[in-house]
Amino acid sequence: MQFMVLLFIIICPVWCSEEVAALILARGGSKAVRLKNLQTVGGVSLLRRAINIALKAGLTDVTVSTDHPAIALEALKSGASLFHRSRITATDSAPSIWGAAEFLYAKPHIKVLVLIQATSPFIQASYVRNAVNKLNYPKPYDCVFSVTRSYKLRWQYVNSDCVSAINFKVGARPRRQDWNGELVETGAFYISRRILIENGSFQNNNAVCRLPPKRVVVGGGSPTFLQRRRAALQRWLTLVARHPVLAHDADLRIFLCESTARLDKPKHDEFILAGSQEDIPRNMSTEDMQAAFLCEQEQLRLIQLGLGRIFKICEKVESRSEAERGDIRELGATLSALSTPVAADSPRWLHVKESLRAAAQLATEMGEARGGAEEAEWAEEGAGGRVQVALEALAAFRELCARLSRGLHAERAAAAHAPRAPHSPHSPAAHALRMRHGYALRAALEEATVGRAYALGALESLPELFRAHGSVSARAAELWAALHAALCRPERTERTERSERTERSDTNTLW
């Protein structure tokens, strides 16, 4: 027991010896994003996330300084205290140090202030907890703040035409593994002693930085996040493997499925995308190919916009379905709590609670269930997966068109302004330029054929996609009907319904 107490004192000196308070500055007058502190990430407001982080970090005194009633209500609902922020410290030009100093002036017992930014939603409670502990260990510091390590090579303008290196020597560019990089302040949190803030600053030279752990994955590495990344990688491999030219590449086939380098002819024609083998007429002139390229570019752009809009709508429908499943689960938990029997229940009460128990069980089962067909729709071979692959193929074609257009314009401009350029259209240089342009346009038209094949497959899969979403809505409607039946007639068991069906069939036979 003595060892445990000693260990606690060594690890947590700040918490035991000083008054520590967490402060979240959240004014209501933000201009770029109105009431940005109330915007939600993953269904939780930024303000509530910051409050939850402070509470999970073990900070018991958590205060929100605000001048807006909606923000104040959200703070109270999230378990934080309120501090009325004055107009002077809530203006656009007021720095954060003013709001912190105003709070400390009203709280003379606070010795250490933990300022948490609500607009940094990916802070973890362990970061704040370890940073507070680091304020006194291994030696006393005046402040601790969050940084990230950057290995970017930075440049700056020395005049209107030239730039010079800032953090490295041009003649000896460092490799990433040969230097420690730079520490860049993130602004996620600041932990400062009172005397420092009263002097008008959150930091001084007696400071220590808190770095996040290496290999932090945005999304937390959750199964859903990993599944989406895996699906995106699979779509990328599909686009490469189905390409009419790349699909015949020996190196690609060895990477995907072959065990030998001897490939006399393609052995996996199922990789070739159907509809992408249409031949471009060889006798098309450059002007005809240019016109066809512009027409294909515009048509595929419109198809991409339409499919993108449909995909966004389906995503919204999916999110609403997921939210409805969450509501059904919460409904089941509420009905289950209401169905708890007590000794004073009369027969009528027992009858009602039996109804509630049956409905709660039904809602819980339906809320937890997620149809396999629904998930399969967004797999690679499902309707939703085909739409996603088509969108990525069309986005790649659009990027190719932009690069091709820039390249053609640049070559024409360079040819027009080249010194001593032969102006004759029959010169070797002009002929070579026409040949390059013709080859580039022909390649672009072939890529347009690939994009059109993907788009056609996506459009043909829309009925299947809409049917899947309709079945989800139908299941939700059936659930509410089943809940109604369970609450009205809890005594109707499967045996009762089976006997009633038998009686109805006997009656029909008699008639």
Residue type, 10: I
What's residue 258's pLDDT? 53
Q: For residue 47, give both structure tokens.
A: 């303000």
The total of other beta-carbon atoms located within 10 Å of residue 83's CB is 20
The mean pLDDT value for 79-100 works out to 90
Return the pLDDT at 459: 86
Which residues lie across from 193 on neighbouring strands?
A: 112
Q: Is the pLDDT of residue 244 over 60?
A: yes
User: pLDDT class for 281, splitting at 50, 70, 90?
Assistant: low
Query: What is the per-residue pLDDT for 56?
Result: 92
Q: Taking residues 449-462, report their average pLDDT.
A: 83
Q: Which residue has the tokens 């010795």?
A: 111
Measured over the CA atoms of residue 64, residue 66, residue 72 and residue 74, the dihedral's sign is: negative
pLDDT at 8: 31
How far is 121 from 24, CA to CA, in rounded Å? 13
Res. 67: pLDDT tops 50: yes
Residue 257: the pLDDT is 66
Quickly state the pLDDT bin for 12 (edges 50, 70, 90). very low
What average pLDDT does this structure show over 109-125? 91
Among 78-87, 107-116, 195-204, 459-468, where is mean pLDDT lowest? 459-468
Query: pLDDT digit string (tens) for 363-400?
Result: 877 766 655 545 555 555 677 778 888 888 888 888 87
Residue with tokens 């690679």: 380
Q: Residue 255: in which H helix or E strand, if any? A: helix 250-256
Give the model's pLDDT for residue 432: 73
The string of pLDDT tens digits covering residues 467-489 is: 877 777 787 788 888 888 878 76
Averaged pLDDT score across all residues of the chain: 76
Of 224 and 180, more confident: 180
Residue 260 DSSP label: S
* Rounded distance between C-alpha atoms, residue 87 and residue 30, angstroms: 13
Cα distances (angstroms) measured from residue 391 to each of 307, 318, 418, 453: 7, 18, 40, 12
> One-letter amino acid identity for 324?
E
Residue 52 and residue 63: Cα distance in Å, rounded?
A: 12
Given this model, what pLDDT does residue 63 score? 94
Nearest-CA neighbor of 192 among 139, 145, 240? Answer: 145
**Does the predicted model carry a pTM greater than 0.85?**
no
pLDDT at residue 490 tops 60: no
CA distances from 223 to 40, 220, 366, 467 (A): 22, 9, 22, 27
Which percentage of the chain shows pLDDT scores above 70?
74
Is the backbone of residue 175 left (phi > 0), alpha (psi -120 to 50) or beta? beta
Structure tokens at 377: 């729709």
What is the widest separation between alpha-carbon atoms in the chain? 106
What percentage of the chain has pLDDT greater than the value 90? 15
Q: What is the predicted pLDDT for the residue at 190?
A: 93
User: What's the residue count for the chain?
Assistant: 511
**Which range (177-181, 319-323, 365-369, 482-486) has the least confidence?**
365-369
Per residue in 28-66, pLDDT tens? 888 778 888 998 887 889 999 999 999 999 999 999 999
Q: Which two tokens stand for residue 464?
A: 């299947």
pLDDT at 280 over 50: yes
Mean of the pLDDT values across residues 119-133?
88
Total H helices, total E strands in the chain? 16, 11
**Residue 137 corresponds to which tokens in the numbers above?**
């260990």
As a whole number of angstroms, the distance between CA 218 and CA 122 comes to: 8
* Contact (Cβ atoms closer than 8 angstroms) between residue 77 and residue 87: no
Handedness of CA 493, 495, 500, 505 (dihedral sign): positive
The DSSP line for 45-95 is EHHHHHHHHHHHTT-S-EEEEES-HHHHHHHHHTT-EEEEPPTGGGSTT--
pLDDT (0 to 100) of residue 397: 81
User: Interhelix angle for 69-77 vs 46-56, to 10°?
Assistant: 40
The top-level CATH class assigned to 2-210 is alpha beta
Q: Is the pLDDT of residue 510 over 80?
A: no
Quote the pLDDT of residue 279: 55
Residue 296 — very low, low, confident or very high, per pLDDT cuts 50/70/90?
Answer: confident
Q: 11-15, 107-111, 334-338, 477-481 — which is least confidently predicted?
A: 11-15
Task: Establish whether the linkage from the previous residue to 138 is cis, with ω within 30° of 0.
Answer: yes
- For position 380, what pLDDT does the model report? 56
Q: How far apart are the first and last CA of the chain?
A: 85
- Token pair listed for 188: 């996620």
Query: CA 273 to CA 271: how far, in whole Å?
Result: 6
Q: What is the pLDDT of residue 75?
A: 92
pLDDT (tens digit, 9 = 90+) per residue, 158-173?
Answer: 887 788 888 888 888 8
DSSP string for 10-29: HH-HHHHHS-EEEEEE--S-
